[in-house]
Amino acid sequence: MPIHWLDYSIIILYFFVIVYIGWWSMQKVSSFDDYAVAGRGMPLAIFFAAIAATLCGGGATIGRVAYMHTTGVVVFAGLMGVVINQIISGLCIAGRVHSIPNVYTVGDLCGMYYGRAGRLVSSVVCFLFCLGLFGVQILAMGAILQTATGIDLIPAALISSAITLAYTWAGGMLGVTMTDAIQYVIIVVGVSLCGYLGIERAGGYDAMIAQLQSMPQYVNNLKPFADWGVIQFAGLFFGFLFGEFCAPYFIQRYASTKSAKDSKTGVLIFSVHWLFFLATTAGIGLASMALQPDVKPDLAFTNLIRDVLPIGVTGIVLAALLAAVMSSAAAFINTASVAYTRDIYNKFIHPGASQQEMLRQSRLSTLLVGGGAIVVAILFQDVFGLMLYIFKFWPSTVLPPLLLGIFWGKVSPRAGAPAMVVGGLAFLIWSDKILGEPFGIPANLVGISLNCLTLFLVHQMTKRSVPTSGAYAPEVL
């Protein structure tokens, strides 16, 4: 079914609005502080919208519905890990991070606990983590424009990523958060409409479930845990529980609010909102399975919007989906560029750089992130698979040393960098890309285990000697 000119007009109008916000934000950004943490003055409402819009991206929409077609509702049992990690983050981490002065990045925290070696390793991981997640959003944006225009996936992805790069390059964190505030409203309205109207088109919830139960290819998909074993499901659950725990873009946002209380409250409100978003996208996935059982999974969400929704509403919901994906993409670009500028350029290449020089580097590195992410997207071309792989990589590297530093703070500064390296290598080697996860043991469980073991052993061997200078000496922020 072709898309009506009115729906095209709504999508074009949306593009114009966010580009204008990027241009407007550029006039307000005069320093690296403005670009990185919005001058540390983000109000609670904007902070909540930024957190919510960042997480409601391509993996959480297009990727999730695609995963339901291929695997089933087991993904939602695993996604409860996200709810748990946001509650813990709100209660125990967000306010604590905000209260530490001069924190911009994960690298700042790792430098404070594990010295220059810890900062360098963590900043490289953060940069690659955000670059990969931007690749996820590029694929998702391409799928949306492919459905709307009929052009091939990669050209569609390049067009949408260029627009996202433009407003992120111009406005930094200020531009990202201002667009997030608008995009969040569009996301809530659009995704809710799609869920409601999709289930209605399928004949209502009871009729939809009855139809799915009569379709042999989906019988297993409707089981809460499919036919997964305990270890296999644990890999999925812990992938979501730890996959974005203390992720670089969260640490950056925790530091950008007006107060520690705002950071804590905003995250806790989001954890409640996430349950609503889970239910809505589950409804969309079920409706898509009932109405278009033979669709290509990565196009399931966008084709449902195009074929089921009425004229005008289609444009609003496609714009909402673009909003969800672009807000996440912008957050990942900005965080990666700030991690490079703060943790690599300013600490290792040009320590005496001024705020204006760092601002220029941030904007230049934004373009570097865009180019690298495009390469990643072309190589993978699997929205949910790429997202899940990256989410399993993060807790295998930075997360255990980072959490130990935040909650205990007395760990040996020599332990952080080796643990990150060992855990990351263990994950990469054990994963399905190399060894293929022998014995059915998920690679992230192996990576986390060896990371923690290395952290413990190195701490025990070096805890009595705290370096006062050199690569492992804790930094003063």
Q: What is the pLDDT of residue 375?
A: 80
Q: Is residue 338 pLDDT above 60, yes or no?
A: yes
Given a contact cutoff of 8 angstroms between Cβ atoms, the answer to whether 233 and 242 are in contact is: no
Q: What is the pLDDT of residue 261?
A: 93
Q: Is residue 350 pLDDT above 60, yes or no?
A: yes
Position 221: which residue type?
N
Residue that has been written with the tokens 């089981």 in this structure: 223
Q: Is residue 279 pLDDT above 80, yes or no?
A: yes
Average pLDDT of span 144-166 = 76
Q: What is the pLDDT of residue 41?
A: 75
Q: What is the pLDDT of residue 455?
A: 97
In angstroms, the CA 370 to CA 129 distance is 13
For the CA atoms of 275, 278, 282, 284, what is the dihedral angle to 10 degrees? Answer: 110
Average pLDDT of span 385-401 = 90
Q: Is the backbone of residue 89 left (phi > 0), alpha (psi -120 to 50) or beta?
A: alpha
In angstroms, the CA 254 to CA 65 distance is 30
pTM confidence score: 0.84
pLDDT in tens, 420-443: 999 999 999 999 889 999 988 999
Q: Is the backbone of residue 409 left (phi > 0), alpha (psi -120 to 50) or beta?
A: left
Query: What are the phi and psi torsion angles at 245 (to 5°)?
Result: -65, 120
Which token pair is 249?
């873009």
Average pLDDT of span 194-198 = 89
Mean pLDDT of the chain: 85
Q: What is the pLDDT of residue 412?
A: 95
User: Mean pLDDT: which of 40-49, 207-216, 301-310 is highest?
Assistant: 207-216
Average pLDDT of span 470-476 = 87
Q: Is residue 30 pLDDT above 70, yes or no?
A: no
Domains, the chain, ordered by start: 5-380 (1.20.1730.10)
Q: Is residue 40 pLDDT above 80, yes or no?
A: no
Q: What is the pLDDT of residue 402?
A: 96
Q: What is the pLDDT of residue 444?
A: 93
Average pLDDT of span 214-220 = 87
Q: Is residue 274 pLDDT above 60, yes or no?
A: yes
- Sequence-distant (6+) residues with CB within 8 A of 323 are 14, 53, 182, 183, 184, 186, 187, 190
Q: What is the pLDDT of residue 316?
A: 78
Residue that has been written with the tokens 């994960």 in this structure: 106
Q: What is the pLDDT of residue 27?
A: 63
Q: Is residue 117 pLDDT above 90, yes or no?
A: yes
Q: What is the pLDDT of residue 2?
A: 64
How many whole angstroms from its chain centre is CA 10? 26
Q: What is the pLDDT of residue 132?
A: 87
Which token pair is 385?
């698979």
Q: What is the pLDDT of residue 34?
A: 65
pLDDT band for position 170 (50/70/90)?
A: low
pLDDT band for position 290 (50/70/90)?
A: very high
Q: Which of 90-104, 174-188, 262-276, 356-370 has the lowest mean pLDDT?
A: 174-188
Of 275, 320, 257, 277, residue with least CA distance to 45: 257
Q: What is the pLDDT of residue 248?
A: 92
Q: Is residue 1 pLDDT above 60, yes or no?
A: no
Helix axes 355-380 and 153-201, enclosed angle (nearest 10): 70
